[in-house]
Amino acid sequence: MSKIGKQPIDLPDNVQVEMGRKKIKVVGPRGSLELVLPDKITVRVDGKQALVEPEVINERTRVLHGTFRSLVFNMVKGVSEGWSKQLELVGTGYRAEVSGGKLIINVGYSHPIEVEAPEGISFKVEKNIITIEGIDKEKVGQIAAKIRSFRPPEPYKGKGIKYVDEVVRRKAGKAAKAQA
C-alpha cells in the first residue's frame, strides 16, 4: 500500500464530495472540479474525511493509489483555498500589465506578448510580480510554466522571468574567466 494513498483527506465544512460512477466531483466556495477515476480505485467519504482505496491490490493499483489521493487532495484544497504561483520579472524595461483578462508582457522582444487567461484562471500584477490564481493546480502550474518560457532567467545577469522562490545559479562572464 502507498504511504501517501493511505492518508485520509480532511474535508473542510464548506466542501462537498459527490461520487458518481467512476467520477468524483468536489464542490466548494470557489467552484467545482471533476475527476475520472481509473478502474479499481474508489473514493469513500466518511463524515469529514475522504479515503482513496484500491479495490484490488495489484501492480497497477499500487501505482495509481498515491497519485489519485494527491489529485483528490489538490481538488479539495483548490475549491476551498485556491492555488497560486508568483513569477518575478527581472530586467531593465521588463514589465507586465493585465488588460481585460489578458496578460500583456514586455520582456525585450520587438512586440509585446499577450497571454489569454483560460477559464478559472486570473492574473494580478504588482510592480514586477505576476500572480496566477485558480482552483485547478495543474492549470495554474501550466500557465506559469508557459509564461516563464517566454524569457527564462539567464545565468550571467539573471535577467528573465523566474518563479519568486527560484534560485538562479549565476556564472562568471568572459572577463572574470580571463583574469583567473
Residues 14 and 62 in one domain: yes
C-alpha cell at 119: 477559464
67 inside domain: yes
pLDDT digits (tens, 9 = 90+) for 74-124: 999 999 999 999 999 999 999 999 998 899 999 999 999 999 999 999 999
Residues 69 and 100 in one domain: no
pLDDT digits (tens, 9 = 90+) for 152-171: 999 999 899 999 999 999 99
| CATH number for 135 | 3.90.930.12
The residues near 120 (Cβ < 8 Å, ≥ 6 apart) are 31, 134, 135, 136, 139
Domain boundary among 80, 96, 126: 80
Domain boundary among 80, 97, 113: 80
Residue 22: which domain range?
A: 9-80
What's the structural domain count of the chain? 2
